[in-house]
Amino acid sequence: MVVLLGPSREAISGVTTHLNGLIGSRLAARFELLHFQIGSEGRRESLPARLARLAASPFLLAATLLRAQAALLHINTSLNHKAFWRDLVYLAVAKLCGARVLCQVHGGLLDEFARGPFAALVRAGMRLADAVVVLSRAQQEAFRVRLPGHPVEVVPNGIDCTPYTRCNRAASDAAAPLRLIFIGRLAPAKGLLETIEALRMARGRGVAARLVLAGAGPEEPRLRQFVRAAGLARDVAFVGPAYGEHKAQLLAQADVLVLASYSEGLPYALLEAMAAGCVPIATPVGAIPDVVSQGEHGLLVAPRDAEAVADAIAKLAGDRAGLARMSAACRARIAAGYSLERVARDFSTLYWGLCATRTPRAAT
């Protein structure tokens, strides 16, 4: 039995996508997987009820681990203070129950998070885990420097490519505006103000381009106001959150994904867009440089640099043959290295290794 610790399976987040992917993959045929929900997503509760749940949750996890005689707890976490202290408690509970622990870090930068005296606490907490999993080679190197000799593995995210490869992609017409898209949460750290400013700059240079924003979030009112002020009301469409077939169709109808984020782990939107043949203009943050080779699969630009994004838009709009080559390379890249089948194989290997060294403890 492997217990997967994470948010509600109905929540809108990358970690939820990851959990649902694992549970729906071939990994579930090799291991019995049980989801243990943490977090407030999907719960309607008062403040007292929330505090009571937080207090009871570690005890409920202990009961779950002992009752199921779980061999492994797979913690899905991020490098922020709230998640670290919360998940450190769950990690300690699992160890007391005799379960092995795999700690997967989905977001945050170790060198920025573990500073000063707090760094020693982070190192000690992470060493309690039997293995640490990260999304990028850069994060793996950072963890190995801080945790010498401790198992740190890279397991990039993966997706089911089928919904994105079966959609017919319309060829990019050199006479038509370049079709840009963003899919995700409309939040400040996604660089959407720079994206809209870049579109305004590109339009000012005579580049024909249009942008679809598929998502919702706290930045939406500000973005709508910015679009109106920039005179781009006819060139930017807000279409709301996109899921399933609708998302696949939107990506099939787009030429370029613009992801000018300030920070990322390994965004599913990037993998889905590339699987659909949508060429990324993205910032080289998180695991993105592991996926996107400059000029081969897309264009990498500096964070917070609207002019660089505008230059990239102009370059792709003026080279539709190059755009088509990158589109084909994107599809091949995701199919070869970022499929859900590969993720299932990677975690199967890790699970077998960790479960083989479990120290069982009987339920009382």
Helices (H) and strands (E) in the chain, counts: 16, 12
User: For residue 100, what is the DSSP state?
Assistant: E
Q: Work out the angle at residue 85's Cα, subtended by the Cα atoms of residues 77 and 75, and round it to the nearest 5 degrees.
A: 30
| pLDDT (tens place) for every residue of the chain, 364 residues total | 999 999 988 877 888 899 999 999 999 999 999 999 987 766 677 888 888 888 899 999 999 999 999 999 999 998 888 888 899 999 999 999 999 999 999 988 888 888 888 888 889 999 999 999 999 999 999 999 999 999 999 999 999 999 998 877 877 777 899 999 999 999 999 999 999 999 999 999 999 999 999 999 999 999 999 999 999 999 999 999 998 899 999 999 999 999 999 999 899 999 999 999 999 999 999 999 999 999 999 999 999 999 999 999 999 999 999 999 999 999 999 999 999 999 999 999 999 999 886 554 444 3
Backbone angles phi, psi at 300, to 5 degrees: -100, 135
Residues 6 or more apart whose CB falls under 8 angstroms from that of 108 comprise: 78, 79, 80, 263
Please give the Cα distance from 200 to 223 (Å, whole number). Answer: 13
List the domains of the chain with CATH numbers: 2-158+340-355 (3.40.50.2000), 162-337 (3.40.50.2000)
pLDDT given at position 363: 41
Q: Whole-structure pTM over 0.85, yes or no?
A: yes
- pLDDT for 177: 95
> 212: how many CB neighbours lie within 10 A of its CB?
19
Q: How far is CA 72 from CA 17, 115, 166, in A?
A: 21, 30, 36
